[in-house]
Amino acid sequence: MYPSRFNYESPKTLADAIALLDSGAGETKVLAGGQSLVPMMKLRFAFPGTVVDINNIPNLNYHRFDSDGTLRIGALCRHEDLEHSDVIAKGQPTIAAAAPLVADPIVRTRGTFVGSLCHADPQGDWAAVMIALGGRVVVQGPKGKREIAMKDFVLGPFQTALEFNEIAIEAVIPAPAGQARGGYLKLERRVGDFATASVAVALEITGGKVVRAGIAMAGVGGKTIDATDAASSLVGQALTEANIATVAAAVAAVAEPRSDHRGSSDYKRQIIRTFVTRILTSIANSTKKAA
């Protein structure tokens, strides 16, 4: 690969990394997993003057539940860490379902969860998952830390609320009220493909009733689409065939897919409706079994 010329920096501390960004005046880019940045540099769509590799900064590669059930994912936690994690398999079904569907096994060994959020690709899987889960991003700059709700973090395709001198250091998923249930389904043309259409569902269930319903979609609009309002009729209800059908239709209706070679907008809506129905039905069935 023959990118444009660039400087490479490999700071050992977060403070140094932030200082490098701060002095770079917007010509500097963070390198996490490199699975989006490096291909863009190869194609010369991106030509940063300096690349700040954060991989040598200690204590950023983690994911853990706090004692209250809050999930924290550090900036260097890779897709595959989540895919193979016992705590995720046990405690966070939406992430567990999505992790094996992100990219391909090779990309998953390097690509990071947080980097994926920062990349803000409207077809990216993790942004949809984070919106469904009502997550937040912790960012740090020269003036210290701030937290940004995921739905305010992404401003548009490949645009985020990050200032040029800030680094996203952690993703936070609030503790669920009751039981966390959920799923992720994605239509792709082959492994490693971005979503033609995908749906993330995150429910919190107490006493057989839904207390929070988060749903978001990727691939079906110019940005990740938050369909949580469309799912709000589930709150306070037990899942039934009827309310599942209603919500599936309502979610499909807020999708904004465009017709292209992967299918017509109607087709993509049909996929969304089918996926929402399938995820919710499977939650309903397993909830019944547990009860």
Partner 1 sequence: MPLDEIKIGGMGASRRRVEDNRFIRGKGNYVDDIVLPDMLHMEILRSPVAHARIKSIDVSKAWDTPGVRLVLTGEMMAARNLAWMPTLSYDTQAVLATDKVRFQGQEVCAVIADDPYIAKDACAKIVVEYEILPAIVNPLQAADPASVLIRDDKENQPGNKVFDWEIGDKAGTDKAFAAADKISKIELHYPRTHPSPLECCGSIADYDRATGKLTVYMTSQAPHIVRAAVALVAELPEHQIRIVSPDIGGGFGNKVPIYPGYVISILASILTEKPVKWIEDKTGNLISTGFGRDVYLKGELALRKDGRILGVRMNTVSDHGAFFSDAQPSKFKIGLMHSAFACYDIPVAHMMSTGYYTNKAPGGVAYRCSFRVTEAMFFQERMVQAAADDLGMDQAEFRRINFVKDDEFPHRTAFGFLTDSGQYGKCLDIGLEAIGYKNFAKEKAEAASRGRLLGIGISTMTEPLGAGNSREYDILGIKMFDSAELRVHMSGKALLRTGAKSQGQGHETTWAQIVTHELGIPAEDIVVEEGDTDTAPFGMGTYASRSTPVAGAAVAMVARKIRAKARKIAAHLLEVSEEDIEWELGRFYVRSNQDRGVTIQECAMAAYSNMPDGMEPGLENNAYYDPPNLTWPFACYIAKVEIDPETGVWDVLQFVAVDDCGVRINPMIVEGQIMGGLTEAYAMANMQYITYDEEGNCIGANYMDFLLPTAWETPGFELYEVVTPCPHHPIGAKGVGECATVGGPAAFVNAVMDALKDKGVRNIDMPLMPNRVYEALTTGNDVYGMPPVRVGN
Ligand X SMILES: Cc1cc2nc3c(=O)[nH]c(=O)nc-3n(C[C@H](O)[C@H](O)[C@H](O)COP(=O)(O)OP(=O)(O)OC[C@H]3O[C@@H](n4cnc5c(N)ncnc54)[C@H](O)[C@@H]3O)c2cc1C
What is the closest distance, in whole angstroms, from the C-beta atom of residue 31 to partner 1 in the complex? 19
Cα Rg of the chain (Å, integer): 19
How far is it between the farthest Cα atoms of the chain?
61
Q: How far apart are CA 211 and CA 226, in angstroms?
A: 18
34 binds, among partner 1, ligand X, none (CB under 5 to 8 A by kind): ligand X
What is the identity of the amino acid at 202? Answer: A
- Choose among 129, 134, 136, 137: nearest CA to 96: 129
Give the nearer residue to ligand X in terms of CB position, either 119 or 273: 119
Q: Which residue has the tokens 């929070």?
A: 212
By CB under 6 A, tell whether 255 contacts ligand X. Answer: no
For 29, 40, 119, the CA distances from 25, given in Å and listed in that order, are: 10, 20, 19
274 binds, among partner 1, ligand X, none (CB under 5 to 8 A by kind): partner 1
Q: Which residues bind partner 1 (CB under 8 A)?
A: 2, 4-5, 44, 104, 187, 189-194, 196, 258-264, 267, 270-271, 274
By CB under 6 A, tell whether 81 contacts ligand X. Answer: no
Give the nearer residue to ligand X in terms of CB position, either 55 or 270: 55
User: Residue 58 CB: number of other CB atoms within 10 A?
Assistant: 9
Q: How far apart are CA 8 and CA 37, in angstroms?
A: 13
Give the nearer residue to partner 1 in terms of CB position, either 135 or 257: 257
Q: How many residues does the chain have?
A: 291
Number of residues located near ligand X, criterion CB under 6 A: 29
By CB under 6 A, tell whether 107 contacts ligand X. Answer: yes
Site string for ligand X, 14-53 (x = CB under 6 A): ---------------xxxxxxxxx-x--------------
Give the nearer residue to ligand X in terms of CB position, either 139 or 247: 139
By CB under 6 A, tell whether 75 contacts ligand X. Answer: yes
Lookup: tokens for 89: 């398999």
Q: How far apart are CA 100 and CA 41, in angstroms?
A: 26
Lookup: tokens for 80: 């595959």
Interface stretch with ligand X, choices 61-69, 124-132, 173-181, 234-242 (CB under 6 A): 124-132
> Which residues are bridge partners to 168 per DSSP?
139
* Contact residues: ligand X, CB under 6 A: 29-37, 39, 75, 102-103, 107, 111-112, 114-116, 118-119, 124-126, 162, 167-168, 192, 194
